[in-house]
Each structure stands twice: as C-alpha cells, then as structure tokens.
Amino acid sequence: MAENKIIAVFGATGAQGGGLVRAILDDPGGGFAVRALTRDPKSAKAAELAAMGAEVVGADIDDAASIERALAGAHGAYFVTFFWEHFSPAREKAEARRMAEAAKATGLRHAIWSTLEDTRRWVPLSDERMPTLMGDYKVPHFDAKGESDAVFRELGVPTTFLLTSFYWDNLINFGMGPRRGPDGGLLFTLPMGDKRLPGIAAEDIGRCAYGIFKAGDRYIGETVGIAGEHLSGTEMAERLGRALGEPVTYNAISPADYRALGFPGAEDLGNMFQFKRDFEADFRAARDPTVARALNPRLQDFAAWLEANKQRITIA
C-alpha cells in the first residue's frame, strides 16, 4: 500500500488550518496524513488534534529553521500568516518569504499559499479615494499577502494561490455581529453600500484546501478563489434576523465612518470593505461558490452556517 502523503499545516489550532486538519482526518482513506504545526505542542488545542489522530509538531513562522524541520518529509503544506497577531505587513511579508524559502529548500511538492489581492493593483498609492496606510499600503493585510505571491513564483515553489473570503465567523469572533441601536432594534453594520460581500464559513476554507491537495497537480500554479455565497448587507441582515428570531436592519455606513470607528485595524478594514465595494465585479468574479463547492461538496451557504452557529452570536 502506498504511504499516505503528509500535509504540514500552519495555523492548525486556528480557523483555516484547523479546517484542513479536520478535513484530512475525516477522510482516512484519502491518501493523506496530517502534520499539525503549532508553536506549543503541549497546549490543550494541540492535544485535541493529537487525540484526533494528527501528528503534532512545533514550529513558528518567525523561525526559519523550525519551518524547515516542520516540512521535512512532507508532500505538501498549507501556508497561512497571522496578520492580526502583530498588525505588521512587513513582518507578514518576511513570514511568507520564510515559508516559501523553506518550501524550496525542502523540495515540497505542493504548497497552498493562503493569499488575498494586492489592492494597490486597483488603487495605487497615489489614488486618494482611500488613505494610504503605514506608508506603503492601501489594505495592509491584503497587500502584504498579495505582494508575497511573487516570492513563491520567483523561487519556483509549486504553489496554489488560494484567495479566501470574509469569514462569517467574524460575526462571532471579530465583533462584527449585530448590535442594539439607539431605538433598541438590532443593527448589522457594514460599509458595503448595496454591493455583495463574498463570505464563507471559516471551516470550509480548509475543506476546499483539502480538495485542492486531492486534485493532485491540477491547481499548481493557479489562483483559486473560494466563497460560500455572495450577499448584500440587506440580504445578510435578513438572514440574520430569521436565524435570531428578531428583525435585523442593515446599517450601511460609509467606509470613512468605518475607518473612524477607532478599534485596532479599523482603518485597514474600512479600506478593505471600500475595495470590495468599489471593485465588486472583480472581487466577486475571483471567488466562485461553484468552484468552492466542486472542491468541497459540504460547502455551507450563509443560512446553513447561521443554523449551525446562531447560538454563538452574542449581541453587543
């Protein structure tokens, strides 16, 4: 019997990587084994993954030698960076480079790089429609990832570039869920005007990544965009209202007002939503739910995700 191909997964205790770890473990006959990478193999989350059958290995994306050790003997790897841990695009670019260099050095056969658009291709720094942030960026957590695509290409790493979408889980974990307005009614705030936002259940990102690995060489060198569904703010509010059993009103504020909300990352996210709003056609065309469903037949739409998660949405 052929040995299972090892997939080394960064972010294994988190959203994207966790979904991939579970997808591989859910398919024992699929021909793959999973190596879950974490900074702390002794943590409770790491122990949970080990109990499910994952090999757990220590690695830190800020430590090149640890990445190389983590990739030794692996067929593939899932590379994701963690912008919101440090809010530094320069650091995110260095981390992506370190991953690509380790992939090259270890002769990895298939990398998936979890990326996003370099928005400066649509909105150059000279464009004053949105402010330039941190000196060199429009949407720092997008631009740093998109700029890093070139490193994987230049080094000749066999890579699939995975364009992810807004996680619906942000309504639980990122403070983006409905809030009570001044009149006591529920408001769902987004600066998207009447445009549609591609969204996805975070768990489905890893499941789609598994579909890419299972497809062999088919997506190497390709950019694959995924979403569960594209919905307007009004449509999201309507589905939220149905799930929560109380009407939710879409509160369409301007990107400038969103940038001014003052929480860490508000300017970055205000620019991000403005980019998604103003370049809706390109942004949506790059994320086809049909493609995602072909990779992951269990792909959820927003209503299905809400049905499974509505109890976890707390109202601020």
Ligand X SMILES: NC(=O)c1ccc[n+]([C@@H]2O[C@H](COP(=O)([O-])OP(=O)(O)OC[C@H]3O[C@@H](n4cnc5c(N)ncnc54)[C@H](OP(=O)(O)O)[C@@H]3O)[C@@H](O)[C@H]2O)c1
Binding ligand X (rule: CB under 6 A), the pick from 166, 213, 250, 283 is 166
Q: Distance (Å, rounded) from C-alpha 51 to C-alpha 271?
A: 41
Q: Distance (Å, rounded) from C-alpha 201 to C-alpha 16?
A: 10
Contact stretch for ligand X (CB under 6 A) within 79-87, 241-249, 278-286, 304-312:
79-87
Q: Which is nearer to ligand X, 26 or 85 (CB)?
A: 85
Report if residue 271 touches ligand X, rule: CB under 6 A: no
SS3 246: coil
Instruction: Give the helix/strand (H/E) hosting 68.
Output: helix 64-71
Report if residue 122 touches ligand X, rule: CB under 6 A: no
Question: Among 283, 279, 189, which residue's Cα sits nearest to residue 233?
Answer: 189
Ranges within 180-219 binding ligand X (CB under 6 A):
none
DSSP 121: G
Are the beta carbons of 187 and 178 closer than 8 angstroms?
yes
Beta bridge partners of 232: 196
Report if residue 112 touches ligand X, rule: CB under 6 A: no
Binding ligand X (rule: CB under 6 A), the pick from 25, 64, 82, 313 is 82
For the bound state, the minimum distance from the C-beta of residue 99 to ligand X, rounded and expressed in Å, comes to: 10
Binding ligand X (rule: CB under 6 A), the pick from 85, 127, 194, 217 is 85
Report if residue 159 touches ligand X, rule: CB under 6 A: no
Alpha carbon of 314 to those of 15, 80, 167: distances in Å?
19, 28, 16
Question: Among 100, 218, 219, which residue's Cα sits nearest to residue 152?
Answer: 100
For the bound state, the minimum distance from the C-beta of residue 172 to ligand X, rounded and expressed in Å, comes to: 11
- Tokens 């594209």 correspond to 230
How many residues line the site for ligand X (CB under 6 A)?
27
Q: Which is nearer to ligand X, 33 or 49 (CB)?
A: 49
DSSP E strand stretches across 59-185: 76-79, 110-115, 159-163, 166-167, 179-180
Binding mask 23-62 for ligand X (x = CB under 6 A): ---------------xxx--x---------------xxxx
Which residues make up the interface to ligand X (CB under 6 A)?
A: 10-11, 13-17, 38-40, 43, 59-62, 80-85, 141, 164, 166-167, 170, 174
